[in-house]
């Protein structure tokens, strides 16, 4: 009795072609073609966070200041907080 040969992942010319392939195929059919890799996430956005609650007038002011600088309010708040901590903890 002949064993059925497992399908192989084809070579793709475009990302769209590959996406179309995976839309109609299951990765478990190709397990023997995958290799394990180690992934290390070193992204500052994945660091620990802190929730800060602001009264509406302060939140509104923060959002307006951030909009004037064309940046997210959270980024501006982080910058201001770090600046204040550096001044407060300076020798």
Q: Does residue 5 sit within a domain?
A: no
Rounded CA-CA distance 72/18 in Å is 35
pLDDT, tens digit, 9 for 90 and up, residues 55-69: 999 999 999 999 999
Identify whether 23 is part of a domain: no
Residue 50: inside a domain, yes or no?
Answer: yes
The answer to the question of residue 61 being in a domain is yes
Asked if the structure places residue 31 within a domain, the reply is no
Domain membership of residue 26 (yes or no) is no
What is the model's pTM? 0.48
**Number of folded domains that form the chain:** 1
Q: Could you list the residue range(s) of the whole structural domain that residue 72 is in? A: 44-88
**Within-domain flag for 34:** no
DSSP-derived secondary structure for 4-60: PPPP-PPP-SSHHHHHHHHHSS-GGGGGGG----------GGGS--------HHHHH
pLDDT in tens, 2-53: 456 777 899 999 999 999 999 999 988 888 888 888 887 777 666 778 889 9
Answer whether residue 8 is part of any domain: no
């Amino acid at each position: 009795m002949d064993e059925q040969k497992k399908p192989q992942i084809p070579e793709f010319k475009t990302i769209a072609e590959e996406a179309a392939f995976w839309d109609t195929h299951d990765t478990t059919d190709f397990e023997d073609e995958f290799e394990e890799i180690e992934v290390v996430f070193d992204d500052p956005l994945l660091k620990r966070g802190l929730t800060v609650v602001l009264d509406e007038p302060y939140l509104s002011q923060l959002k307006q200041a951030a909009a004037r600088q064309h940046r997210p309010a959270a980024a501006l708040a982080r910058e201001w907080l770090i600046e204040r901590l550096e001044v407060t903890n300076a020798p």
